[in-house]
Amino acid sequence: MKKVGLLTSGGDCQALNATMRGIAKTLYNLYGDEVEIIGFEEGYRGLIYDDYRVMKKEDFSGILTVGGTMLGTSRTPFKLIREPDENGLNKVAAMIHTYKKLKLDCLFVLGGNGSLKTANLLSEEGLNVIGLPKTIDNDLWGTDVTFGFQSAVSIATSAIDSIHTTAASHGRVFIVEVMGHKVGWLTLYAGIAGGADIILLPEIPYDLDKICDALKERGKAGKHFSIIAVAEGAISKEDAALTKKELKKKREKGEKYPSVAYELAAKIGEKTGQEVRVTVPGHMQRGGAPIPYDRVLSTRLGAEAARLFDKKKFGLMVAAKNNEITSIPLKETAGKLKTVDPKSEIVRAAKLTGISFGD
């Protein structure tokens, strides 16, 4: 009898269930009734505190189109993973104990950057671990795309699409704030797909004057409304030049805005005199059913993860490369961010079509 564990960690996304289904269906196809799948509740928390359930075949039926995760998830920050909990429990030792107590042959971890850092830690501690790349941010190094990304792009694009008519009707500037604290893949793709006039990313610090100049040029061309797609982590050139300590001090002393979108709205309105409104789709971008692209990608990634288990290949993360499913060592992706290259072809193409990046 083979025994494997499943957990989903970190932020949720649309294709977690679809990916678990891909793993499970492949395992059942390979081993029939000679495999037992243990589902850990709420991510690493379930592994730490021995909170799990034995899954049944029927648990994996009818979930291909269901968003979220049937196992629940939670954030267990990697930087705190080696610190004892409030009761003095050694979290790493507890996870290893649970794994060995259940006599698992492998642990499948569906997660993003922080979650896979913990997966790599467990692998280095001697456990058999296979990671699967989950995040709407598409920021995992070593894979061209993560599951959940394209579904989130679809929702963010829909939000921008819906803003166009009201922006045009009232002649306003609309700022749509898209998720992405450290990287701008989601904002970049949704901004291009949604026809945004200005796209602001964490990787390309913006100049407020350049943004206002772009808006004025649109006005001169007879275009009396504009759409700005801004990532949560977008930053001005002035702030980007500061150290983390200096930036924190500046923000503590400065005006308080709910987010960068509201700060930009206030400053653009003041400099241009235009009416500016803010829309924040927020967690809608994580919700709903996965689009067909993610259902296919998740199935492929899940099947490959199960195949690696069958071949006894561990310490790996399955990945998509050049439209093929492959794998890389967990240690190669752990802790690395895949950021948008300001000189990349996709940014160049966007600029050639007239999109401003505020730089």
> d(Cα 234, Cα 57) in Å, to the nearest integer?
44
Whether residue 37 lies inside any domain: the answer is yes
Whether residue 253 lies inside any domain: the answer is yes
What is the model's pLDDT at position 342? 97
Instruction: Tell me if residue 137 is catalytic.
Output: yes
> d(Cα 195, Cα 218) in Å, to the nearest integer?
14
Whether residue 352 lies inside any domain: the answer is no
Whether residue 346 lies inside any domain: the answer is no
> Are 239 and 262 found together in one domain?
yes
The candidate with the shortest Cα–Cα distance to 232, out of 190, 261, 203, is 261
What is the model's pLDDT at position 253? 76
Q: Which residues contact 147 (CB under 8 A, 6 or more apart)?
A: 13, 15, 16, 18, 19, 132, 133, 134, 290, 294, 297, 298, 301
Whether residue 137 lies inside any domain: the answer is yes
Residue with tokens 């503590």, as numbered in its chain: 252
Is a pLDDT exceeding 80 seen at residue 255? no
264, two tokens: 């930009």
CATH code, domain with 259: 3.40.50.460
Amino acid symbol at 332: E
Structural domain boundaries enclosing 126: 2-148+290-333
Residue 162 is given by DSSP the state H
> Are 137 and 166 found together in one domain?
no
Domain stops at, among 221, 256, 286: 286
Is a pLDDT exceeding 90 seen at residue 245? no
Inter-residue contact 316 to 132 (CB < 8 Å): no
pTM of the model: 0.94
Q: Name the average pLDDT for the chain.
A: 95
Inter-residue contact 131 to 316 (CB < 8 Å): yes
Please report, rounded to a whole number, the percentage of residues in the chain having pLDDT higher than 90: 88
The candidate with the shortest Cα–Cα distance to 138, out of 199, 189, 176, 205, is 189
Domain stops at, among 286, 312, 341: 286
Q: How confident is the model at residue 270 (pLDDT cuts 50, 70, 90)?
A: very high
What is the number of domains present in the chain? 2
What is the model's pLDDT at position 244? 83
- For residue 105, the tally of other CB atoms under 10 A from its CB is 17
What is the per-residue pLDDT across 278-297, written as a single tens digit (0 to 9) for each?
A: 999 999 999 999 999 999 99
Cα–Cα distances in angstroms (integers) from residue 180 to residues 190, 264, 347, in the given order: 12, 16, 17
Whether residue 359 lies inside any domain: the answer is no
Inter-residue contact 195 to 184 (CB < 8 Å): no
> Are 143 and 69 found together in one domain?
yes
> Are 215 and 93 found together in one domain?
no
Residue 121 is given by DSSP the state H
The candidate with the shortest Cα–Cα distance to 191, out of 162, 154, 238, 229, is 229
CATH code, domain with 107: 3.40.50.450
> Are 282 and 191 found together in one domain?
yes
Q: How confident is the model at residue 248 (pLDDT cuts 50, 70, 90)?
A: confident
Q: How many residues does the structure list for the chain?
A: 359
> Are 262 and 313 found together in one domain?
no
12, 137, 139, 294: which is the annotated catalytic residue?
137
> d(Cα 149, Cα 293) in Å, to the nearest integer?
10
Is a pLDDT exceeding 90 seen at residue 24? yes
> Are 65 and 164 found together in one domain?
no
Q: Which residues contact 11 (CB under 8 A, 6 or more apart)?
A: 73, 75, 112, 135, 136, 286
> Are 93 and 64 found together in one domain?
yes
> Are 7 and 144 found together in one domain?
yes
> d(Cα 173, Cα 309) in Å, to the nearest integer?
52
> d(Cα 114, Cα 16) in Å, to the nearest integer?
16
DSSP string, 91-151: HHHHHHHHHHHTT-SEEEEEE-HHHHHHHHHHHHTT--EEEEEB-TT--BTT-S--BTHHH
> Are 34 and 164 found together in one domain?
no
What is the model's pLDDT at position 246? 80
> Are 127 and 189 found together in one domain?
no
Whether residue 239 lies inside any domain: the answer is yes
Whether residue 355 lies inside any domain: the answer is no
